[in-house]
Homo-oligomer: A and B are copies of this chain.
C-alpha cells in the first residue's frame, strides 16, 4: 500500500487525476472502473478538461462497480451520476461505456474477465467503512459481484432515503482483488477515524474497507484532514 497525503481537496484531486491519466495514456485498451459520489467531483472536473473531445483516450473503457436502481427510471443512481459528472461532459462515446445494472450483474465478472481485467479502479470510502456497495453487515469477503436486498435492519438504513426490500448490486471483494491497480481517495475530517481503522486495523467484514489492505497494488490518496489520525 502507498499512502499519499496531499495538502487539500484540490491537490488530492490533482494527484488522482494524474494517476488515472497515466493509465489512460498507454497504447492499448485500458479498462477503468470509476466511482460516483462527492469525493471525485474535482477529479472529474480536471479530467474533463483534458479528455473532452480529445482523440487520445479512445482506448479507455469505463465500468461502474455498483448500481442502485431507481423506481420508474431506466438508469440507476451510479451511472446517472457518472454521466453527469464525467462521461457526458467529457463526451465519452457510448461504445466505451459498459454499465453494470441490477439486471446484468451476474455477467459482470465474466464480462470483465473477457476484456482482460480492470487496469485500474477509483474508489471512495464511506464514514461507516463501506467501499463500493460493500456495506457493514451485508458484506462477505468471498463474494464476487452480488445483489443485496435491504432488510431495514442494517446500521446504514435511512428510512427517508431507502425502502425496505429495495435491492442494489456491487462488485464484491473477490472481484475487487482482481483489479490491477486500486486507487482510494478520501478527504475530510469526518472520515479520519475510519481511514485509520481500515488502513491499520484488523481486516473484518464489519468494516468492509479494511479488506483493501490486502490488495497488492493499492494507492491511497488523502487530504491532510482525512490523514489526520494516521501517524
Contact = CB atoms under 8 A, between A and B. Distances in A.
Interface of A: 1-2, 4, 15, 18-23, 25-29, 56, 59, 113-117, 140-142, 173-174, 177-178, 181, 201-203, 210, 213-219
Contact of A214 (B114, B174, B217): B174
A18 B26 contact: no
A226 to B, nearest CB: 15
Given A21-B22, A219-B27, A59 B2 contact: yes
Given A113-B28, A115-B116, A117-B116, A214 B141 contact: yes
Nearest to A15: B25
A27 B2 CA distance: 5
A219 B141 contact: no
A29 B23 CA distance: 17
B217 A26 contact: yes
A142 B22 CA distance: 26
A108 to B, nearest CB: 15
Given A116-B115, A178-B216, A22 B18 contact: yes
Given A114-B115, A142-B201, 5 more contacts: A2-B26, A18-B25, A21-B22, A27-B217, A141-B203
Contacts of A15: 25
22 contacts: A1-B27, A2-B25, A2-B27, A4-B25, A4-B56, A18-B18, A19-B25, A22-B22, A22-B25, A25-B219, A26-B217, A26-B219, A29-B116, A115-B115, A115-B116, A141-B203, A141-B213, A142-B210, A142-B214, A174-B214, A177-B214, A214-B214
A117 B218 CA distance: 15
A31 to B, nearest CB: 9
Contacts of A20: 22
Contact of A213 (B59, B142, B178, B216): B142
